[in-house]
Chains A and B, each alone.
Chain A
């Protein structure tokens, strides 16, 4: 009798344990291939046309180097299924998009991503950039390096600017819905036009270059970082800085580098970090 009770109790416990496991566990969703890519869109590859600027200028890029690492992609609030710390250097003036990495991951909705754009460090590898460009980024400690030309049809100005800003893009609203056996893509999208915004906080900033051109104090046709740093913006009607104590064009543009990063085209991220 006592033995039968023990058997019954044991059987009940097994049932409870199995039921609990079923309740707490999840079905295997299967796996799919998640590709992560990076792209600078037409604005970097072909240039930003005059129609986009409020002051008649246009810009083309000869180089747009960016150092990206700290990649993490997750399904909702769960732990990331993709994590990669390798710092990769890309030149986004080359026709893209470019592969960042590819992983076999559980199927599901990958709607949360983060990455970091910060000064290139020893150990950084070429994404699609040349070895020389990787060396340039590491030696300069640049997170972003741009070379290009701006023109208003009569005057031309060149620029070569390296930024050592450090920005973590978090809570990026990715849109990859991966089914079992299928494939999906998350794209790190870089918006170069933000470098020429005329306000740090306006929801509807204009693109301008004329003031940047006026910063060319020695008139040699190249607008340098030093000339931008010496160009006071405090009396200008635009170039709003909100509560930030920014009073020159270099600090202004450097601050804007923290707004370059997006996800899946126009998807937004939360940017953390400032300047250096």
Chain B
């Protein structure tokens, strides 16, 4: 009788022990290489009718975050998730974008015209269904190892290229300042990441908003108006209205994309 009772008790405890000790419910933690696509940005026509061909684009950013949709993920072990990455919090009272379940901390200068992939590092991501990319803008400084003559020094972004409309051509150069810590939230990043996968994540800058293929990075920039002296050269600097327009567009997630290379 006692033996039967003991076995009954023991067997009834097995499911509980299994639930407590079985690690199968925890998501896998994957380390994936993250690179910036240095093959340039496709030429495009902005809303003002200028055919724009970029030849340089470098941006100072930091702390990439990879997010799944919504604020919670039932399949994730809360303790493990919080150990790995903090939950995204917007400024109190403001919105957060998705749940951060992956990260690549650090300071980067992303160069979209280096001609090749530029390694940013290894991101750490929990398995899950990814939908978004976040990062923060910052100002480039001497710690980035750039030359004192580098136009990016002290600024967030530097873009250069040409704009053509009809028979007229303008060479332009734009230096942008974005407030330290301003976040780009929700850049498209679609990946159902599962244990055993090892894709490379590729950061790209898009001239077009891929959701509409209508709005472009340079919409609102009228080069002829900006060329007051008519010399065919336009410099966009902090303090200019054109700077504010371009800065605002560069911050919008429509122009950032994280591709998955398998």
- Residue among A234, A262, A272 with max Cβ neighbours from chain B (10 Å): A234
Would A243 and B93 be within 8 Å (CB), given that A234-B248, A235-B245, A237-B239 are in contact? no
The closest CB in chain A to the CB of B238 belongs to A237
The stretch from B25-33, B123-131, B177-185, B199-207 touching chain A is B177-185
Contact of A236 (CB < 8 Å), options: B5, B97, B244, B253? B244
Cβ distance A82 to chain B, nearest Cβ, rounded Å: 22
- Residue among A243, A259, A269, A271 with max Cβ neighbours from chain B (10 Å): A243
Scan residues 176-202 of chain B and give those whose CB is less than 8 A from a CB of chain A.
179, 181-187
Chain B residues closer than 8 Å to A260, beta-carbon distance: 93
Cβ distance A172 to chain B, nearest Cβ, rounded Å: 10
Q: Are B93 and A269 in contact (CB under 8 A)?
A: yes
Q: Are B93 and A271 in contact (CB under 8 A)?
A: yes
Q: Are B96 and A243 in contact (CB under 8 A)?
A: no
Would A242 and B185 be within 8 Å (CB), given that A200-B94, A270-B96 are in contact? yes
Cβ distance B218 to chain A, nearest Cβ, rounded Å: 12
A241 at the interface (CB under 8 A from B): yes
In the complex, how many residues of chain A place their beta carbon closer than 8 angstroms to a beta carbon of chain B?
30
Scan residues 236-276 of chain A and give those whose CB is less than 8 A from a CB of chain B.
236-237, 240-245, 258-262, 268-274
Provide the bound-state CA to CA distance between A243 and B65, in Å. 14
Provide the bound-state CA to CA distance between A255 and B1, in Å. 70
Contact of A262 (CB < 8 Å), options: B93, B186, B187, B245? B93
Cβ distance A157 to chain B, nearest Cβ, rounded Å: 24
Would A242 and B251 be within 8 Å (CB), given that A259-B94, A272-B95 are in contact? yes
Would A201 and B244 be within 8 Å (CB), given that A269-B92, A271-B93 are in contact? no
Residues on A lying within 8 angstroms of B by beta carbon are 5, 9, 191, 194, 200-203, 234-237, 240-245, 258-262, 268-274
* Extra inter-chain contacts (12) besides given A191-B93, A259-B92, CB under 8 Å: A201-B94, A202-B91, A235-B245, A241-B251, A243-B185, A243-B251, A262-B93, A268-B93, A270-B90, A271-B95, A272-B95, A274-B95
